[in-house]
Structure formats: structure tokens, C-alpha cells
Structure 1
Amino acid sequence: MGSAASTAEIYVYIRTVMSIVISLSLARLLTGLAGFVQSPGKHRVYLVQLGWVLSMFLFIIHFWWWEYRLQSLAVISFGVYLFLICFCCLFFFLCVLLFPTSVDEYGGYEEYFISRRRWFFGLLAVTYAVDLVDTFLKGHAYFQSLGWEYPIRNAAFIVLCVVAALTANRRFQAIFVSIGLIYQITFIFRFYDVLG
């Protein structure tokens, strides 16, 4: 009983620390979006960047939705704790890249986003790789329950992120975020709509 209680307490503690970092990430996205309402003419909006803002919002709330499966871990070590906090930090860095403190020197979000695409897509590729490890931590049976689509999806996103980091082609950027968003929404509702 004491061991189970300790594991439950550790789980609650880890979720609390993770929620702080995740909250900062969401706050960054919401503050950035609110800036468009507060000063609508200050900077030109870039639809691709807004698409990634929506994608990141979905990724973050989806991440938080599925992390309840951490409670199935019999033992949570410091290494797992550190890994999970670093995973959450990746989301924060991605959100900061989407909404920096200022884009004044760039003239608008399009110029800013294209100039920082290597950082953004590099970190996004790392996030998809880390996601594979995170899912495997929840158990081999859980990983297998997602079928072949899940690892192929992550591998495809990693490859597409590498391409997006290397090309400034606006058409590719627009197609990637559009198809990525549509797929992300369908994936969430097909695999994670109901907890259980």
C-alpha cells in the first residue's frame, strides 16, 4: 500500500510540474494571438505561422490529454521525470519561436517565420522523435495498440520537418501546415477521442 501511494504521489507531483510548463506554452500562444487583436495593424499576419500556432495548440492539448497514461507506470525514476519535463520544455521553445518577444526587425511574421524555420522545424522534428520514446515509456503493449500508423506518422513528420527546415518555398510551407493540420485533427479523433 505504501509503495502504491508513493507512486501515486510522485505521479501527481510530476503532472503538476508538467502542467506549469505546458501552461506557459499555452499562455505564450494565447498572448501572441491576443496581440493581433490588441494591435491589428502593427504586424502583417502570416497564415502559415497561424496554422502552426493552431497545430501547436492541438499538439499541446493532445499531449496533456494522453499523458494520463503515465499512471500506468509501476515505477517512475528521476530519469523519466527529467525526460518528461524536457519534453514539455520542447513545447515551450516551439511556442516562443512562433511568438517571439518582438518581430520589429523582420517587418512581419512571414519574414520572421521563414528566417527561423530551421529552429522551429528542427525542434518540431525532435519533438516527434521524443514523442515516440514517450509513447514507448507507457508500455510496449500500449505502443503496439496504436498500430503501424503511429510510428509511420512520426517518421513522416520528422522527414517533412527536415524538408521544411531546408526550404523557404512558401507553397511547400503552406501545403505542409494545411495537410498536417487536417491529418492531426483526424488522428486525434481516431486514436484519442475517449480516455480509456
Structure 2
Amino acid sequence: MEAARTPEVYVYIRTVMSMVIGLSLAQLLMRLAGFVQSPGKHRVYLVHLGWIASMFLFIIHFWWWEYRLQSVAEIGFGVYLFLICFCCLFYFLCVLLNPPSIEDYGGFEEYFISRRRWFFGLLAVTYAVDLIDTLLKGETYFRSLGWEYPIRNVVYIVLCIVAAITANRRFQAAFVTIGLIYQITWIFRLYDVLSG
């Protein structure tokens, strides 16, 4: 069977991807709305809120740069499956940040620290998969991002491994704070405007 080449294919693939991405955003927004609806129900943990903000930015940014998917010359089922699985990583990360219940925990701090290995393990995988996703858009596009892009992802992967291992609250707070600041500057430096 031949790989797909028509513009409608990109619209179709982006539609399926957007369903999974939409579910991811819904998870984050439900948690934030829950904090507003029942502010005293559970103790809030600022690091947890920071990662919710970080995932929100990561997902919005991901969807912004997936516009470049149209530069892929042809898409076979393997690429389609890869892209859907990539979106599923975001969903799993968002579900980890938004559990159905934390009744077994003293609050979000205890919950987050107890699930940090899963969260940061999946986040490290997401940054690794992001490198592959960017390569799918072509070597020229990958190179256009400069040396900072692969170094950024490798540093995030290493820091995620450290964050998965350590429960040190200062490290966790520093990681999410510096990560958010860097993420915002990265987005506006490289992806402020979509060009055709």
C-alpha cells in the first residue's frame, strides 16, 4: 500500500491527534477548575501547579509546531501510529497530574512526590520522542532549530531522571521554576510566528 501524500491526509491526522491533545488539556483544566470549585478540599502543592502550567505550555507549543507536519513528504501507517502514540504520552502525563482521587494521600505534595518516577520517566520519554518527531519533519527543519534544540532535550531528559530519583523539594521547585522560565523564552524565541 502506498503512503499518503494529499493535503487531506494531514488534516485527517491532525484531527485524530487533536482529539487526544484535547483530552490532555481537559485533564489539566479539570484540575485547575477543581482548585477553584473546592479551594480547601486538598492542600495545593506549588510544584504540582508548576508542572500543570508547564504541561499546558508544552501541549499548546506541541500543537503549534505540529503545523510543520505538512512538510513531511509522505506519511505511512508507522508515522501515523508514532504521532498518535506521541500524543498519548501527553495524555498520560496529564492524567498523572490530575488523578481521579488523592484521598489516600495527605495532599498534592505527597501524591506528586509518590508518583514522581512515573511522571518524570514519561516526561523524559516525551523529550526523547520529541527529537524523533522533529526529525520526521526533515533534517533541514531539525538543523534550523540550531544546536540548542538537541542539547535542550538531552538536558531535560537528564534532569527528568534526576527528578525521578530525588524527592528533594528544593530540586523539584528549582526544576519546575527554571523549566517554566526557559520554556517560555524558548517558545517566543523560536516559534512566535508560523510561516507557510
Q: TM-score normalized by structure 1?
A: 0.97
Which whole-Å CA distance do the structure 2 matches of 1:191 and 1:7 have between them? 28
Unaligned runs of 5+ in 1: none
Task: Give the share of equivalent positions with the same residue, in percent.
Answer: 81
Listed as ranges, the matches of 1:85-164 within 5 Å are 85-164=84-163
Q: Answer yes or no: is the 8 Å Cα contact 1:7–1:74 preserved in 2.
A: no
Which whole-Å CA distance do the structure 2 matches of 1:37 and 1:19 have between them? 26
Once the two structures are TM-superposed, the CA of residue 31 in structure 1 deviates from its matched residue by: 0.4
Q: Match of 1:108, as an amino acid?
A: G
Q: Answer yes or no: is the 8 Å Cα contact 1:7–1:76 preserved in 2.
A: no
Once the two structures are TM-superposed, the CA of residue 74 in structure 1 deviates from its matched residue by: 1.4
Displaced runs of 4 or more, over 3 A: none
Q: Provide the residue aligned with 2:57 in structure 1.
A: 58
Q: Match of 1:175, as an amino acid?
A: A
Once the two structures are TM-superposed, the CA of residue 6 in structure 1 deviates from its matched residue by: 5.3
Q: Secondary structure at the match of 2:192?
A: coil
Which whole-Å CA distance do the structure 2 matches of 1:190 and 1:52 have between them? 21
Q: Secondary structure at the match of 1:177?
A: helix
Q: Secondary structure at the match of 1:101?
A: coil
Once the two structures are TM-superposed, the CA of residue 52 in structure 1 deviates from its matched residue by: 0.3
Q: TM-score normalized by structure 2?
A: 0.97
Q: Provide the residue aligned with 2:8 in structure 1.
A: 9
Which whole-Å CA distance do the structure 2 matches of 1:95 and 1:190 have between them? 26
Which whole-Å CA distance do the structure 2 matches of 1:100 and 1:183 have between them? 27
Alignment: residue pair count: 193
Which whole-Å CA distance do the structure 2 matches of 1:191 and 1:90 have between them? 23
Once the two structures are TM-superposed, the CA of residue 76 in structure 1 deviates from its matched residue by: 0.5
Determine whether 1:75 maps to 2:77: no
Q: Provide the residue aligned with 1:185 in structure 2.
A: 184
Unaligned runs of 5+ in 2: none
Which whole-Å CA distance do the structure 2 matches of 1:56 and 1:135 have between them? 19
Which whole-Å CA distance do the structure 1 matches of 2:181 and 2:8 have between them? 38
Q: Provide the residue aligned with 1:176 in structure 2.
A: 175
Which whole-Å CA distance do the structure 2 matches of 1:186 and 1:178 have between them? 13
Q: Provide the residue aligned with 1:20 in structure 2.
A: 19
Which whole-Å CA distance do the structure 1 matches of 2:170 and 2:5 have between them? 52
Which whole-Å CA distance do the structure 2 matches of 1:171 and 1:19 have between them? 35
Which whole-Å CA distance do the structure 2 matches of 1:111 and 1:125 have between them? 21
Which whole-Å CA distance do the structure 2 matches of 1:6 and 1:144 have between them? 24
Q: Match of 1:33, as an amino acid?
A: L
Once the two structures are TM-superposed, the CA of residue 107 in structure 1 deviates from its matched residue by: 1.5
Q: Match of 1:12, as an amino acid?
A: V
Q: Provide the residue aligned with 2:164 in structure 1.
A: 165
Once the two structures are TM-superposed, the CA of residue 184 in structure 1 deviates from its matched residue by: 0.3
Once the two structures are TM-superposed, the CA of residue 7 in structure 1 deviates from its matched residue by: 2.0
Once the two structures are TM-superposed, the CA of residue 73 in structure 1 deviates from its matched residue by: 1.2
